[in-house]
Amino acid sequence: MTHPESRIYIAGHRGMVGSAIWRALTAKGYTNLIGKTSKELDLRNQQAVIDFIDTEQPDVIIDAAARVGGILANNENPYPFLMENLQIQNNLIDAAHKAEISKFIFLGSSCIYPKFAPQPLKEEYLLTDSLEPTNEWYAIAKIAGVKACEAIRKQYGKDFVSLMPTNLYGPHDNFDLKSSHVLPAMLRKFHEAKANNNAPVSLWGSGTPMREFLHVDDLAQAVLFAVENVLPEHLYNVGTGTDVTIKELAETIQRIVGHQGELVWDSSKPDGTPRKLMDSSKLQALGWAPNYTLKQGVKDTYNWFKKNQDYYKKVSI
């Protein structure tokens, strides 16, 4: 069992997910957290990862490191989204196994499920049909990670578990309009349009697809739950259980930002998957539950963005 002195390595500790996990563990009293920047440790380098794990000998590894992005980034960079994610997770999983580390928490994404799977998405729908083409490269890498953890669990009886969050947002999100996901991109667009005399805001697609959004601090609590408990199965969805249309999301963000201008939908741009609601009842039945409502979460994220927006001014619009 873990305790406050347990050595816990968080791969990707500077990212939105990793930094939220770091905050959650610190708040719970964990004092022996390990983090390395990508400059200090290139997770794509197998030997470097093996040497690092052998030297540090963590009790727990949490894999929050990944190359991530929205529809545009996935579509334009299929090879690195597939290969770099495979390299990162394979190196970590294999090094953990070889170093006899008994607990490993692998983080993925709801995009691992088939594009037209029944809603809400259950864990058993994995690999039952074809994926959403715009992000299948990332999804295939993450599926391989899930199956690697399942294989180690099955063959060696180790506590390797995969958590699949729905769409995440929150502090330290990516607000670069070329590579960000829908919620942070909207926040920035409405904020800048408001500052520009309430200029019109143009958004991709029809606004009809439905999406579920989870505040990253709620995911961090799910990871903490997995750190402190031995979960009986290898794969768990992590979501709120409720979804909204992209149009409803846009209107919520518009109200919170205070933008008074026009909202224009560009139907020449793709919508992506029509609906992606996750069934998170397995994890919730064990004792985890989300805390943030969408409105609370968007307000929290917008406040963080306003405090840190000077960084994003350097990124071209």
pLDDT tens readout for residues 217-261: 999 999 999 999 999 999 999 999 999 999 999 999 999 999 999
Give me the chain's average pLDDT, please. 93
Q: Is 172 annotated as a binding residue?
A: no
Are 212 and 278 spatial neighbours (Cβ–Cβ below 8 Å)?
yes
For residues 274 and 251, what is the distance between their CA atoms, to the nearest angstrom? Answer: 19
Q: Is 204 annotated as a binding residue?
A: yes
Give the side-chain half-sphere CA count within 13 A for 268: 1
CATH superfamily placement of domain 8-173+212-243+275-292 = NAD(P)-binding Rossmann-like Domain (3.40.50.720)
For residues 262 and 248, what is the distance between their CA atoms, to the nearest angstrom? Answer: 15
For residues 167 and 211, what is the distance between their CA atoms, to the nearest angstrom? Answer: 8
5-32 per-position pLDDT tens digit: 999 999 999 999 999 999 999 999 999 9
Ranges of each domain in the chain:
8-173+212-243+275-292
What is the per-residue pLDDT for 315?
47
Are 275 and 243 spatial neighbours (Cβ–Cβ below 8 Å)?
yes
Residues with a catalytic annotation lie at: 138
141-194 per-position pLDDT tens digit: 999 999 999 999 999 999 999 999 999 999 999 898 877 788 999 999 999 999
What is the per-residue pLDDT for 121?
96
What is the per-residue pLDDT for 34?
98
Residue 35 region by backbone torsions, left for phi larger than 0, else alpha for psi between -120 and 50, else beta: beta
Q: Is 239 annotated as a binding residue?
A: no
Question: Taking residues 307-314, what's their average pLDDT?
Answer: 72
Q: Is 17 annotated as a binding residue?
A: yes
80-123 per-position pLDDT tens digit: 999 999 999 999 999 999 999 999 999 999 989 998 899 999 99
Q: Is 154 annotated as a binding residue?
A: no
Contacts of 251 (CB under 8 A, 6+ apart): 263
Q: Is 12 annotated as a binding residue?
A: yes
Q: Of the candidates 262, 256, 244, 253, which has an alpha carbon nearest to the alpha carbon of residue 198? A: 262
pTM of the model: 0.93
Helix, coil or strand: residue 82? helix
Helix, strand, coil shares of the chain, percent, nearest 5, are: 45, 15, 40
Is a pLDDT exceeding 60 seen at residue 316? no
Is a pLDDT exceeding 50 seen at residue 125? yes
What is the per-residue pLDDT for 280?
98
Question: Taking residues 259-273, what's their average pLDDT?
Answer: 90
